[in-house]
């Protein structure tokens, strides 16, 4: 088994590993979104069995979100990835998801100790609770999949929703008014090439009276039939279309579509934030509940 830097063709294999070990890690959809946009770390490595063409059996990253994943019962992989992480930064904490037993054993062998449960590990929606919820319809809007000839408008609504200065922070933080979203046509192309991307689950909200081709909101839903769980990543509403129920409607439309496909849950990798209450408030309103499913480990004496 060897540990090497990731290559572009590794993204699918990493997503498939995340599917195999779910819920002991990231959902493969959100992982694909982040990896395809190179947004999950300055340095990411994969573990593969040397001399074989078999699947990726582990991966880890540094300098971004915690993404350490290990194939079940592969203590050798867990030891190698923990060794790599600590060689890069001995003070970096490591998140161990519930059920990731090989990784839990490895961090203990490395001398790390638990420093606390993750205060959050995402939000989960049980489709049995909200199936066919009428709030998925908003007067004046149609929610539907994006069409192939609407790429420019689809990129535009995401960039409008995620322009840093337009995000409704409530803690008075300083935001550069000139900063722009990093979502470009190149980024969108990479995302659409990720495993589990399905254009029929790439949704937009279109105002009935808007003939300009612009959209009011958007989201991508990543349904994994192997687990029955779909992740929404990302979801955004353009500033002029906020406070009309579109975020809730998009979530519930995803729930409806995933239910039709035989899914059981919708997941969102987010948390309530004191300075940014808009997103979690919408998700709670749609019926999502917080789930806690990870423990943080760190070297003794570190906060």
**Domain ranges within the chain, ordered by starting residue:** 2-112, 124-290
pLDDT at residue 63 in the model: 87
* Residue of higher predicted confidence among 189 and 66: 189
pLDDT at residue 275 in the model: 87
* 2-112: CATH architecture: 3-Layer(aba) Sandwich (3.40)
**Other CB atoms within 10 Å distance of the CB of residue 281:** 13
pTM above 0.85, yes or no: yes
pLDDT at residue 84 in the model: 97
Residue 172 binned pLDDT confidence (cut-offs 50, 70, 90): confident
Tens digit of pLDDT for each residue in 279-299? Answer: 899 999 999 999 989 999 999
Q: By the 8 A CB rule, do 142 and 205 touch? A: yes
Sheet containing 202-207: give its strands across.
141-145, 202-207, 217-224, 229-237, 265-268, 123-126, 289-290
Tell me what the mean pLDDT of segment 126-150 comes to.
94
CATH number corresponding to 124-290: 3.40.630.30
Q: By the 8 A CB rule, do 206 and 216 touch? A: yes
Backbone φ and ψ of 220, nearest 5°: -115, 130
Tell me what the mean pLDDT of segment 58-82 comes to.
95
pLDDT at residue 132 in the model: 83
pLDDT at 276 over 60: yes
* Residue of higher predicted confidence among 154 and 51: 154
Torsion over CA: 163, 168, 171, 177 (sign): positive
Alpha carbon distance 137, 121 (integer Å): 29
pLDDT at 211 over 70: no
Alpha carbon distance 175, 169 (integer Å): 9
pLDDT at residue 13 in the model: 96
Tell me what the mean pLDDT of segment 14-31 comes to.
97
Q: CA nearest 86: which of 303, 297, 301, 291?
A: 297
Domains 2-112 and 124-290 share a fold: yes
pLDDT at 212 over 60: no
Tell me what the mean pLDDT of segment 149-165 comes to.
96
DSSP annotation of 5 = E
Tell me what the mean pLDDT of segment 260-288 comes to.
93
Tens digit of pLDDT for each residue in 84-108? Answer: 999 999 998 999 999 999 999 999 9
Looking at the DSSP bridge assignments, the partners of residue 205 are 143, 217
* Residue of higher predicted confidence among 220 and 42: 220
Strands 2-5 and 43-48: antiparallel
pLDDT at residue 121 in the model: 79
* Residue of higher predicted confidence among 119 and 51: 51
* Widest CA span in the chain: 62
pLDDT at residue 290 in the model: 93
Tell me what the mean pLDDT of segment 216-225 comes to.
98
Q: By the 8 A CB rule, do 11 and 196 touch? A: no
Tell me what the mean pLDDT of segment 253-276 comes to.
94
Query: CA-CA distances (angstroms) from residue 59 to 84, 85, 213?
Result: 10, 11, 41
Mean pLDDT check: name the lowest of 23-27, 252-256, 273-277: 273-277
Q: Please, what is the average pLDDT of the chain?
A: 93
Tell me what the mean pLDDT of segment 113-133 comes to.
87
pLDDT at residue 50 in the model: 84
């Amino acid at each position: 088994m060897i540990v090497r830097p990731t290559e572009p063709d590794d993204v699918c294999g990493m997503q498939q590993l995340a599917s195999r070990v779910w819920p002991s890690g990231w959902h493969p959809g959100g992982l694909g979104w982040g990896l395809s946009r190179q947004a999950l770390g300055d340095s990411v490595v994969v573990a593969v069995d040397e001399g074989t063409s078999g699947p990726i059996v582990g991966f880890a990253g540094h300098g971004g979100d915690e993404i350490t994943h290990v194939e079940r019962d592969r203590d050798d992989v867990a030891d190698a990835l923990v060794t790599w992480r600590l060689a890069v930064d001995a003070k970096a904490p490591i998140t161990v998801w519930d059920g990731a037993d090989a990784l839990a054993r490895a961090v203990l062998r490395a001398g790390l100790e638990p420093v606390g449960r993750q205060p959050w590990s995402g939000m989960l929606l049980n489709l049995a609770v909200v199936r066919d919820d009428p709030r998925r319809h908003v007067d004046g809007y149609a929610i539907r999949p994006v069409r192939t000839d609407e790429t420019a408008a689809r990129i535009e609504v995401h960039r409008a929703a995620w322009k840093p200065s337009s995000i409704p922070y409530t803690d008075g933080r300083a935001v550069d008014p000139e900063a722009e979203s990093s979502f470009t046509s190149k980024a969108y192309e990479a995302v659409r090439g990720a495993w589990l991307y399905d254009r029929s689950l790439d949704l937009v909200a279109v105002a009935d009276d808007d003939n300009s081709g612009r959209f009011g909101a958007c989201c991508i839903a990543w349904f994994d039939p192997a687990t029955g769980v779909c992740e929404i990543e990302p979801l955004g509403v353009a500033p002029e279309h906020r406070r009309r129920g579109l975020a809730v409607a998009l979530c519930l439309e995803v729930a409806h579509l995933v239910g039709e496909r035989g899914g059981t849950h919708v997941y969102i990798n987010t948390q309530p934030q004191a300075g940014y209450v808009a997103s979690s408030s919408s998700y709670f309103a749609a019926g999502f509940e917080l789930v806690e499913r990870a423990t943080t480990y760190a070297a003794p004496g570190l906060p």
